[in-house]
Structure 1
Amino acid sequence: MTDTAVLVIDMLNAYQHPDAELLIPNVAEIVEPVSGLIDAALARDDVDLIYVNDNYGDFTAQPDDLVRAALEGARPDLVKPVAPRPNSRFLTKVRHSVFYATALEYLLSRLGAKRLIFVGQVTEQCVLYSALDAYVRHFEVVVPRDGVAHIDPELGAAALKMMESNMDASIVSVADCLPG
């Protein structure tokens, strides 16, 4: 059992939605740091890696379907470096929070996780609501500022400030978020 889990939120995206043009440049900036964090988490025995991705309303979609759709979408270059490796833990979600209507809380309890590192998209939406849900469940929240992508820069900055001020989240860099 470990006490730290990295949650990769909504990085499997086909980028064929109304906010895609605003989101894409910000995702492009985080792909390399997030990919590096994924590799670091996989290389360690004391960190769990969990992908949580929106099912985009398709309740028949399996994880492989979501990965394939994202890789066949408008920006596979933003997906391939962060795509789940074989045997990755993967949960689908239906709304903004990674906790809403998922088995995540149960999985985290089974893993013994106490500290959650959130990376992915969108800072002012899914990351913010997931961090709040983690905080009310008494998890330690860590959000690397270079590991989350926003649609609106002002709302993204406000979301990070809210997480830090209201949820006692550690807002750090990807390089500083894993222990030891």
Structure 2
Amino acid sequence: MADFFADFQPARTALLIVDLQNDFLHPDGAYARGGAGAPEIAALPARVKPVADALRAAGGFVISTQFTLVPGRGGEPMIADHLRQIRPFLRKGDFMPGGWGHALVDELQPADFTVEKVAYSAFYQTRLDFVLARAGIDRLIACGIVTNGGVASTVRDAHVRGLPTLLLSDGCAAMKPDLHDATVTVLSSVGPVMDCAGAETRIRAAI
């Protein structure tokens, strides 16, 4: 597989952060309240931050894609049936646009662009294609949660759009390590895979 950094142009590259939001990660967020966290997920912001800092310094972009529960009548969130079954603790105000829980975690702020998403893929019924085209971004570095859900769907959708996408192998996580490992193995056939330290080193070499 071609070297992702062989013709690296930082100004045309974005770190695409999938769902690293307060309601998923923060001790006061919705998932912590429901006992649905995982230590592998909690560790991600500190691991991803050096990559984000390096890409910003090189002139690249940071895009935060954020899972959203759209408020319906009376402010009650529109929750898909399958999600309601597995996450019954979700309630009014969780993952609400503009709310604290919806926001990218502080450690990774600021994002150059924020894209609301309502399904696994950051491309599905969102403005991400528009943002990439208008900003001149045609190469992605993907990270976030969960590896076998939002990350995998987003990486595959980037692939079918012809967007070279590097997956940060330790910059994403799942609720179970075996699911993470299996998904990274499968996605290695779609595009290049590298750990965060390796990606940071290659980015800084371009500064």
Shorter-chain TM-score bucket reads: 0.7 to 0.9
**In 2, distance between residues paired with 1:103 and 1:145?**
26
Larger radius of gyration: 2
Structure 1 SS opposite 2:101: helix
1:50 maps to which of 47, 63, 74: 63
**In 1, distance between residues paired with 2:37 and 2:155?**
20
Counterpart AA for 1:135:
H
1:50-97, Cα deviation, whole Å (9 max, x unpaired):
1110113337843x42xx1258xxxxxx93312x32x73111000000
Which residues in structure 2 correspond to 1:158-177 (within 5 Å)?
158-165=182-189, 167=190, 169-177=191-199
Query: TM-score, length-normalised on structure 2?
Result: 0.71
Aligned length: 166
Counterpart AA for 1:48:
F
- 1:158 shift after superposition: 1.4
**Which residue does the alignment assign to 1:155?**
179
- 1:29 shift after superposition: 2.4
Instruction: Tell me if structure 1 keeps the 8 A contact 2:61–2:112.
Output: no
Of 127-136 and 36-45, more deviation after overlay is shown by 36-45
**Which residue does the alignment assign to 2:142?**
118
**In 2, distance between residues paired with 1:57 and 1:162?**
32
Instruction: Tell me if structure 2 keeps the 8 A contact 1:23–1:149.
Output: no
**In 2, distance between residues paired with 1:49 and 1:29?**
19
**Which residue does the alignment assign to 2:114?**
90
Structure 1 SS opposite 2:11: coil
**Which residue does the alignment assign to 1:133?**
157
Residue segments in structure 2 that go unaligned for 5+ positions in a row: 1-9, 25-29, 76-95
- 1:122 shift after superposition: 0.6
Residue segments in structure 1 that go unaligned for 5+ positions in a row: 72-77
* CA pair 58-156 structure 1, distance change in 2 beyond 3 A: farther
**In 1, distance between residues paired with 2:175 and 2:42?**
12
Identity percentage over the alignment? 26
